[in-house]
Structure 1
Amino acid sequence: MNVPVAPEDPSPRPPAGAPLPAGNPSLDSQGSRPGLVLAIVSIGVLLSSLDLFIVNVALPDMAADFGGADIAGLSWVLNAYAIVFAALLVPAGRLGDRSGTPNAFLLGLALFVLGSALCATAWDVGSLVAFRVIQAIGGAILTPTSLGLVLAATPAERRPTAVRLWVAFGGLGAALGPVLGGVLVEFGWRWVFLVNVPIGVIALIAGVRKLPKPAGGGGRFPDLVGALLLAAGIGAFVLALVQGADWGWSSTGTLGAFAVAVLAGTGFVFSSARHPSPVVDPELLRIPNFALMVTNGILFNMAFGAMLLSFVLWSQEVWDWSALRSGLAVAPGPLVVPIVAILAGKLIARIGPGPVIALGGTAFAAGLLWWATALTLEPNYAAGGLGGMLLTGLGVGLTLPTSFATGTGALPPHRFATGSAVLSMSRQIGLAIGVALFVLVLGSAADPQTTLDAFQRGWYVIAGVAFLAGLVGLAARLPRPVDAKPAPAQQAKLRKTRRD
C-alpha cells in the first residue's frame, strides 16, 4: 500500500548531512515500511472506531431476539463499551510506551477480535455486555499503541501526513458506523460483530509478520494506583454523562458518579505528583500545542458526537426512515473526510495548522446551521440534509487529523503512545458530553412543531460549540518534532563531520 504524502508537509526537515531521526528507542524499525505499518494498524483503528457507533442501529433487533429486553438494559451494550474504552486509553498507552508498542497493539487487536466473536454468540443482555467489555479493553489498548507504531516507523518530516491519515481512518469508522450497521442488520444483528473477526484476524497475521519488532521497552513500571484512579475517575465521569438523562441529573446515582469522578481525579493528581513514573507525565501538558489540542479535541468531538446522534434521531424519528436508509444518508459526510485530510497538508504548509483547524470548526458549524434553517418536517434530504452533511464532513476532515498531528508533533518518542492516548481520551470524553448535551437540549417534544423547534435549538447550540473549538485551535503553531538522540555511531560520525 503506497500512502500518499503531501509534498508541502510543513514539518521541519533535518539539515543536509545530519543523521536521520532515531525514532522510538523501544522499536527495531530497521526495514520497516511506514506505509505498511500505517495500513496494518489502521485496520484495527477502523474496527475499534466502528464499534463505538455501529451497534446503535441493531438495538431494536437485539431486543426482539432477547425476548423483548427493554432499551434501558440494552443501552449498556453501548455504555459499557464507551466507559471502559475511555477509562483505559491512557493507562494502556502508558504501558505500551513501557513494554513496546508492537506487542501491546497485537494484544489489543487479539482481545478485540476475541470479544467480537464472543459478542456474536451472546445468549442474553448480560453476556453481551460482558463480551463488549472485552472488546473495549482490546480497543483501548490498540488505539494509542497503533499511533505510537505509526510515529515510530515514520520519518519526522512525514509524521504530520501519517497522523492525518491515521485520524482519517478513525473518523471514517465513526461516521460510517450507522451506514454499515444498517446494512448488516438486514442479515441479522450478530453480523455487526462477526464482520470484525475475519478482518481482524487478517490484520493480526499481517502484524505478527510485518510490524517492527520491540527491542525491549524498559523503564520504571507506571503508577498502578494512579492508573486505577484515572480509570475510576474517567469511568465514573462518562457513566454520569451517559446515564444522567435516564437517572436524572440531580439523582443520587448521577451526583454520586460525579462525586466519585472528582475524588478519583483529585487522587490521581496527587499520585501523579508523587510517583517517579506517573501515568500522565505533567510534562506532557507543557509540550507545545498539546494542552491546546486536548481542549480542542473535547470541544470539537462534543459537536461531532451530537451531530451524528441528531441526524440519526431526526431521520428515524421525524422522517420515519429505516436504519439502513438513515445510515446511507450519513455516508456523503464521511466519504469527504479522507480526501480532505490528505489535501489539508498542502493548506497547512501555506497558512499553518491554526487557521486550518479554525476553518474546520467554522465549516462544521455552517453544516449544523444549514440543517437548522433548511430541514423541515417533510423529508427533503437533497435540499436540506445533503448540504449540511457535506459541510460537516469537510469540517471533520480539516479539524480532526490536523488537531491530532499538531498535538503529537512535538511528543518525544518515549511518549508517543501515552500522548496519543490522552488526545484519544479527550475525543471520547467530548463525544460523551456532546451526546448528553444534545439530549438535554432536545428534551421531550409533544408534537411535530415542538420537535422541530427542539432540534433547531440543539443544532444552534452544537454549532456554537464547533465554532468555539475552531477558535481554540486558531492558536496552534507548527510543532517541531522531538526525536531520540542519534545512535552512538551516528553521534561519532556527526562529531567528526563538525570537526572537519
Structure 2
Amino acid sequence: MRTQRPALVLTVTSLAAFLVFLDVTIVNIAFPDVRETWPETSLADLSWVFTAYNVVFAALLIPAGRLADARGRRRIFGVGLVLFGLASLACAVAPTAGALIAARAAQAVAAALLAPASLALLLPAFPPERRGAAVGLWGATGAIAAATGPALGGVLVDAFGWRAVFFVNLPVVLLTLVASRFVLVESRDPDARLPDLVSVVLLGTGVAAVSLGIVRGEDGGWGDAVWPLVAGAVLLVLFGVRSARVARPLVEPALFRLRSFAGSIAGYLVFSGGFYALLLSNILFLTGVWGYDVLTAGLAVTPGPLMAAVASSVGGRLTDRFGAGASVVAGGLLFTAGCVLFAVAVGPDPAWLTVFLPGQLLTGLGVGAVYAGLGTAAVSELPPTRFATGSAVGTCARQIGAVLGIALLLSGLAAAGSSFEAFRTSWIAMAAGGIVTVLCGVVVGAARARSAPAPTPVPLEEPA
C-alpha cells in the first residue's frame, strides 16, 4: 500500500472541489451568449441550464456519499472525474439547447459523486490535529471557485465565446485524474452495504422538489412554487420517518443528535444563503447601479475570494487549536461586519476603493473562516466510515442554502425594482444571516477532529 503525501492529497481533492463549485456560477456570465445561440428557445426553458445542475446536484449528494463509503472513495472519485469531463465536453459542443441541458444534468451527477468522495479521501491523509487546516483549505477552494466564476467566465466568454466556460474544465479534469491514480489511496467501509433504496428515492425526490420550488420562486412565481415545496417537505418527512425504522438508513438519524454535526448543517444552510446571495447581489449592484460592464464587475469582486483563501488557512488553524466554533464565530462576525459596511456606507455613486473594497475584504475573510470551521465540525464526531456521508449532508445543505438565498434575493429585487434601497435591504438581510451563523458556531462549540481508526484501505498494485 502506498504512503500518502498529505499535501498532494489536498491538492488533488481541492482541484475536484474547485471544478464542482466553479460550474455552479461560471455559467451565469455566459447565459446571455447562450441565449443568443438559440433565440427560438424560451427563457423559461433555457433557464434549465442552471436549474438542472442545481437540482440534480443537491438531490444526489447524499446517496453519492453513501455510495462512496460502500464502494470505495477513490473509485467513485475517478468515476466522477471521467463523467464530469465527458459531460463538460458534451456541454461545449452541444448542438441544441436540449442537449446542453441534458449535459448539464450529467455534469451535476458527476459533481455529486466528486464532492463527498474528495473530502472523504482528504481527511484520513491528515492527523487529527491538522485536519482543521486541511478542511479549511478544501472548503475555501470551493468558495473561491464559486466567487471567481463570474470573473473567469467573463474573461473566457469575452475572448472565446460561451463554449469556452466548459472547455476550460477539460485540462483540469485530465490533470486531476492522472494525479489521483498516483496520489490517492482507495478506502471503503468494509461492512457497508448499499442503503435502503426507498430512502434514496424519498430523499432524492424530496430535495429535488424543494430545490425546484425554490428555483420557481426565484423567477418571481412563488404561487407556482408552493406545490413543489409542499411535496418536497412531505417527502423529506417520510424520509425521516423511514430512516428511523429501517436497518440500513441512508442517513442515520443518530448523526443529528451530535451537536457539532447538527450545528454545522444549520450553519451551512444559513451561511450559504447569505454568501451566494452576496456574490450575485454585488455583481448586479456594480452593473445595475454603478454602471460597470460585466467583465469589470467580475474583476472588481475578485479581492473577496483572495481574502477567503487567506482566511481559510487561518480559520483551519483556529479550528485545530480552539475548535470549529471559534472559526465559525469569528468568520460570522467578519461577514456580518462586511455586510453592514455595504449597507451603511455604499452609495449610488461609485466608491470602489474606499468603501466597496473594504467590505469585500471583510466578507472574504469571513467566508474563509466560516467554511473552514463548518467543514471540520460536520465530520469531527463521525467515524471515518461516515466521512463521505457526513460531508455529503453538509454540501447538500450548502447547495440548498445557495439556491434559497439567490431565490430570495432575486424575488426581493424584482419586487422593489432593483433600486438602490433594495440592495441596501438585501445587505442587511445578509448581515442577519451572519449573526445566525455566529449562533450556529456557538452550538458547534469546541468540536475538533478526533483520533479514530483510519478507514479500511484496499490494497492496490503500484502503478508501473
- Go from structure 1 to structure 2 and tell me whether the alpha carbon gap of 1:336 and 1:245 turns closer, same or farther (over 3 Å shift): closer
Q: 1:239-266, CA deviations, whole angstroms, 9 ceiling, x for partnerless residues? A: 1111114362123xx1220122022112
1:281 aligns with 2:249: no
- Please give the alpha-carbon distance, in whole angstroms, between the structure 1 residues aligned to 2:389 and 2:321: 30
- Please give the alpha-carbon distance, in whole angstroms, between the structure 2 residues aligned to 1:113 and 1:56: 20
1:170 aligns with 2:138: no
- The match for 2:453 is 484
Given residue 212 of structure 1, which amino acid in structure 2 is its aligned partner? Answer: V
- Go from structure 1 to structure 2 and tell me whether the alpha carbon gap of 1:245 and 1:174 turns closer, same or farther (over 3 Å shift): closer
Shift of 1:287: 2.9
Three-state SS of the structure 1 residue aligned to 2:25 is coil
- Please give the alpha-carbon distance, in whole angstroms, between the structure 2 residues aligned to 1:46 and 1:393: 17
- The match for 2:166 is 193
Q: 1:253-292, CA deviations, whole angstroms, 9 ceiling, x for partnerless residues? A: x122012202211221122122211111112112340001
Shift of 1:316: 1.7
- Please give the alpha-carbon distance, in whole angstroms, between the structure 1 residues aligned to 2:278 and 2:140: 17
- Please give the alpha-carbon distance, in whole angstroms, between the structure 2 residues aligned to 1:82 and 1:161: 28
TM-score under structure 1 length normalisation: 0.87
* 8 A contact 1:160–1:409 mirrored in 2: no
- Please give the alpha-carbon distance, in whole angstroms, between the structure 2 residues aligned to 1:323 and 1:149: 37
Greater helix proportion: 2
* 8 A contact 1:363–1:392 mirrored in 2: yes
1:240 aligns with 2:213: yes
* 8 A contact 1:442–1:457 mirrored in 2: no
Shift of 1:172: 1.0
Given residue 299 of structure 1, which amino acid in structure 2 is its aligned partner? Answer: V
* 8 A contact 1:339–1:397 mirrored in 2: yes
Shift of 1:215: 6.6
- Please give the alpha-carbon distance, in whole angstroms, between the structure 2 residues aligned to 1:165 and 1:214: 22
Aligned length, in residue pairs: 454
Given residue 133 of structure 1, which amino acid in structure 2 is its aligned partner? Answer: A
Q: 1:420-440, CA deviations, whole angstroms, 9 ceiling, x for partnerless residues? A: 000111111111111122223
Shift of 1:370: 1.2
Of all paired residues, the percent bearing the same amino acid is 41
- Please give the alpha-carbon distance, in whole angstroms, between the structure 1 residues aligned to 2:287 and 2:42: 19
**Structure 2 alignment gaps of length 5 or more:** 457-464
Shift of 1:351: 4.7
Query: After the TM superposition, which parts of structure 1 deviate over 6 Å for at least 4 consecutive aligned residues?
Result: none
- Please give the alpha-carbon distance, in whole angstroms, between the structure 1 residues aligned to 2:48 and 2:298: 22
TM-score under structure 2 length normalisation: 0.93
- The match for 1:303 is 274
**Structure 1 alignment gaps of length 5 or more:** 1-27, 488-500
Q: CA RMSD in A?
A: 1.9
1:126 aligns with 2:98: yes
- Go from structure 1 to structure 2 and tell me whether the alpha carbon gap of 1:411 and 1:54 turns closer, same or farther (over 3 Å shift): same
1:98 aligns with 2:66: no
- Please give the alpha-carbon distance, in whole angstroms, between the structure 1 residues aligned to 2:205 and 2:5: 38
Given residue 163 of structure 2, which amino acid in structure 1 is its aligned partner? Answer: R
Shift of 1:191: 0.3
- Go from structure 1 to structure 2 and tell me whether the alpha carbon gap of 1:312 and 1:31 turns closer, same or farther (over 3 Å shift): same
- Higher Rg: 1
1:290 aligns with 2:261: yes
Shift of 1:362: 1.4
- Go from structure 1 to structure 2 and tell me whether the alpha carbon gap of 1:348 and 1:91 turns closer, same or farther (over 3 Å shift): closer
Q: 1:133-154, CA deviations, whole angstroms, 9 ceiling, x for partnerless residues? A: 0100000000000000001222
- Go from structure 1 to structure 2 and tell me whether the alpha carbon gap of 1:170 and 1:485 turns closer, same or farther (over 3 Å shift): closer
Three-state SS of the structure 1 residue aligned to 2:338 is helix
